[in-house]
Structure 1
Amino acid sequence: MNVAHQAEPGAMSAGALAAMTVLVLAAAIYLVAARRCHREPRGWNHWRTASFLVGLILLGFALRPSISESFPDHMIGHLLLGMFAPLGLVLGAPMTLLLRTASPSTTRPLVHLLRSRPARILTHPAFLLTAVIGGLVALYFTPLFTIADDHAAVHAAIHAHFFISGYLFAWMIAGPDPGPDRPSVRMRIVVLGVAVLGHAVVAQLIYAGLFVAVDAPPDELRTGGTLMYYWGDIAEILLALALLLTWRPDHRGTAENRGRPATQAVPG
């Protein structure tokens, strides 16, 4: 199963064209909004714009029509779709940009949504760890991989799952955008460590071919496991660096809790 699903040539071209169109439209909307922000006194950070565009490019590469059905090619797409592209997009702070440029009639419902109970559940560390690591286990150690090869809708749902869970996980760890209350920096570091361990275990099992329900030659499994192990580590190191760069102490506390650092990202 490749990230860009192998299908009939016409259907593949239409799907790829639709995906690229959405990505180009997202880039155009972001650039127009960033230009609007540049006219304000606070401006807009060029690094955020660059990060968002890099994220879109990586996402486009992950969704490209694939000429190979090899497992390593699938793994490269998975890493881009679920780890590298979400990190770039998250650091672009698209929600902050939207809240600063959209009309109050648009931003008011968004603020309520970000503070809602479903949003808190979807961004809870336990839920996201289960979604990220559990998704890998379900894909590679159950018949799901084979089923997705035969059903385009399942394939698309898996793509959506990995991208959304990867995006929310990256936001929970280091995202500058506003949202539901996040755990402390110490807890986020622990959660990231658990994710690193989970990825490492899955990668090593794939490398060894143990319990893997993927119909691929042993050499492809070893290559895919190696890619997940090392490039997954790189993505998680970048996420940890992003946490350090976006962390700011919260000095708004009362006298009782002063001295206990909390976190608040500074958008812009």
Structure 2
Amino acid sequence: MLRLTRVLGPAALLLFAIAALVAGLTFGGGAAPQLLQDPGAVVRWGLPVSKLFVNLGAAAMIGALILSCFALSPKQPEFNAALDVAAAGAAVFTVAAAFTGFFTYLSVTGATLSLDAQFGASLSQFLTQIELGQAWLITTLVGAAVTVLCFAVRNHTLLVFVTVLAVAALIPMAQQGHAAGTAGHNAAVTSLGLHIAAAAAWLGGLITVVLLRDKLDRRLTTVLARYSTVALIAFLVLTISGVATSILQLGSFENLLSDYGVILLAKVAALIVLGFFGVIQRTFFIERMQRAGAAASATAANGVRWFWGFVVAELAFMGIASGLAVALARTPKPVTPGAELTTTRTPAELLSGEMLPPELTFSRYFTEWNIDLIWLLACAFGIFFYLAGVWRLTKRGDSWPIYRTVLWIAGMIALFYVSSGGVAVYGKFLFSTHMLAHMALTMAIPVLLVPGAPVTLAMRAIRPRKDGSRGPREWILLAVHSRFASIIANPIVAAVLFAGSLWVFYFSPLFSWATTDHIGHQWMTVHFLITGYLFVQSLIGIDPVPYRLPYPFRLLLLLGTMAFHAFFGLAIMTGTGLLLADWYGATGRSWGLDALADQQMGGGIAWSVGEIPTLALAITVAIQWSRSDAKETKRSDRNADRTHEAELNAYNENLARIAERDNAGR
């Protein structure tokens, strides 16, 4: 049976996925004939089947790459085998994406397959000029690039970038499907993207472990434990993003009784069973195999036989969830009563996909929310893993200053608020509020996060790997000691990035991209946060960096950078041309200041609000300078006590010799 696992596992996954897909499409009417321009049964069934293979190929591609980066050692034969699995998954993903794009064209246009030039020209126009066709063309091209890179790249470090590219291939998929035309479009795109990526990591990792079973041998338990951690994180992300997506799609509780709702409930049931499988796997099988030690090899022990049978069943339920997910995407969404009567959209909805919020008051900064799931999860995991590190240090008897923990948690909470609270809600429509968020991301939040010393905590709390693989500790060390890090962490470079990016961002097309595009907005948040973090780290950081300026020069750098920052604020405040007029001047907002006056107020915020973090930084640098001098004085005193004032005595003797020479020369 053990030798059949590599066949039974993928076979169970595929068979149950297709069966669930057929059942879901039949029940929900996702493959029913269309009333107008029906493309035919081949297209109606071929499109969801090809999407299913897109998802399964993405899972094998991403799961195998993640295991290669974080669980496997390049010194072992399973490393190259995992990359072969990733390459095969990427190839399936690429071919299936190409078929999906083709079937999508036939479904949307109702065209009949033909070999004439007109059909080819129409297909080419769809793939290169229509957004939906462009999405599948990009997906196919990125998949092809990942396929080649999985064969060509064997460097452990470069594989991280290949993994990032593989995950990026899912972005065009997240920007369509369920999310298209949905109220709260950005939230729907984020939820769907996280859902797809988490499912791929969870499913693909298990497929890879099954296919590599014979090569893992005695390292099986170690790899399983590492995969279990990835699977747990993926399950949490999958659950939270799934809940968010379901709320957006259903609209009301009554819609659970619709065809869409029933299929959704079936998918939820499959995920609950998978969660139960994960708990059993983590708390029973892996622990039992770890206790058994060498006896729990991949070729012996009755408990291991049960484990692999358990894995086959788990893959079967993963297939059910995967098939239902694709069927759900093809099932018409339920319509909330009364929603079909709304036929007009406001300018704010047309621009941003969101309703214009009510008139801004101070209290609404704290009562209006638009949760960004990416930053909610990032902040929650940031707090959890930080506290886990502190707990591990405390458990073994080491100390960690409480103020660092308090500041880190405060910084994470502040980051969550800026990305999801009233500042984020009104920042889409008010330049002044957008600038307030910018100042918080670049100055206030880093002042809280940097003293938390997360890198130092990670180095002390995370156990090092000894088998040649790279865990979080090894990747953090590699990143901190890389040549790129040494360049951007240089105080002068960090200051230039901090201040110079203001001008580049606001007076280039980057501002428009970050405002009008959801991906651009996420990039903007990451960029401002990182540049601010690097600048503050160069001034008051505790974590190790290649070079630090002496304290007097740190103060000079701070004052010079903030003067440049204030000059930028004055330029905005005195400007008479409206930045991004086709956005801030076209939202239909009838309350508050007009767009130009609001922009000028934003310049005032950039000029004035930064003074508080600047003062905090200056005080912190002065305190660190004072403590450094005090430590140097104590060190000198201890050295003098140990050497019985040897340095002072030598100095006095040298002065005496000089005096004797002077007296002899008279």
Shared fold (TM-score, shorter chain, > 0.5): yes
Cα distance in 1 between the residues matched to 2:382 and 2:491: 28
Unaligned runs of 5+ in 1: 1-6, 259-268
**Displacement after TM superposition at 1:79 (Å):** 1.2
The answer to whether the 8 Å contact 2:455/2:476 transfers is no
Instruction: Tell me the CA shift for residue 24 of structure 1.
Output: 0.7
Displacement after TM superposition at 1:109 (Å): 5.5
Q: Is structure 2 residue 425 aligned with structure 1 residue 67?
A: yes
**Match in the other structure for 1:164:** 530
Query: Aligned pairs, how many?
Result: 250
- Is 2:583 the counterpart of 1:204? no
Pairing of 1:173-212 with structure 2 (within 5 A): 173-209=539-575
Which is richer in helix?
2
For 1:9-158, what aligned pairs fall within 5 Å after superposition?
A: 9-12=184-187, 15=190, 16-64=372-420, 66-68=424-426, 69-105=429-465, 106=471, 107=473, 110-158=476-524
1:194, CA displacement in angstroms? Answer: 1.4
**Using the alignment, how far apart are the partners of 1:205 and 1:212 within structure 2?**
12
Deviation (angstroms), 1:41:
4.5
Contact 1:83 1:235 in 2 (8 A): yes
Identity %: 27
Instruction: Note the C-alpha offset of 1:119.
Output: 1.8
Looking at structure 2, the residues matched to 102 and 185 of structure 1 have their Cα atoms a distance apart, in angstroms, of 32
Contact 1:141 1:214 in 2 (8 A): no
Which one scores higher on RCO, CA 8 angstroms, separation ≥ 6?
A: 1
Tell me, in whole angstroms, the C-alpha distance in 2 between the residues paired with 1:44 and 1:14: 39
- Partners of 1:175 and 1:246 within 8 A in 2: no
Where 1:67 maps in the other structure, the secondary structure is helix
Q: Tell me the alpha carbon deviations over residues 97-133 of structure 1, each in whole angstroms, 9 at most, x when there is no partner.
A: 1111111235456445433322210111222122111
CA distance in 2, matches of 1:43, 1:13: 43
Q: For residue 69 of structure 2, what is the aligned residue in structure 1?
A: none
Checking the alignment, whether the CA contact within 8 Å between 2:515 and 2:521 is kept in structure 1 is: yes
- Matched with 2:608 is 230
Q: CA RMSD in A?
A: 2.7
The alpha-carbon deviation at position 214 of structure 1 amounts to: 4.1
Change in Cα spacing, 1:116 to 1:42, as seen in structure 2 (3 Å) is same
TM-score, normalised to structure 2, is: 0.35
Flag the 1:100–1:156 CA change in 2: closer, same or farther, 3 A. Answer: same
For 1:90 and 1:173, the matched residues in 2 are separated by: 10
Question: Do structure 1's residue 244 and structure 2's residue 592 form an aligned pair?
Answer: no
What code does the residue aligned with 1:224 have? G
Q: Does the residue aligned with 1:241 lie in a helix, a strand or coil?
A: helix
Distance 1:108 1:67 in 2: 38
Offset of residue 55 of structure 1: 0.6
Could you list the runs of 5+ residues in structure 2 that have no partner in the other structure? 1-181, 191-371, 466-470, 585-594, 640-646, 648-666
- The answer to whether residue 596 in structure 2 is matched with residue 218 in structure 1 is yes
Q: Are the equivalent residues in 1 in contact too, given 2:514–2:523 (CA < 8 A)?
A: no
Secondary structure of the residue aligned to 2:547 is coil
Aligned equivalents of 2:620, 2:189: Cα separation in 1: 36
Shift of 1:200: 0.5
Q: TM-score, normalised by structure 1?
A: 0.83
Rg larger in 1 or in 2?
2
Distance 2:596 2:578 in 1: 11
Counterpart secondary structure, 2:548: coil
| One-letter code aligned to 1:208 | T
Q: 1:200-256 CA distances to partner (integer Å, 9 max, x unpaired)?
A: 0001111111677343522212221121122111111112222233442474899xx
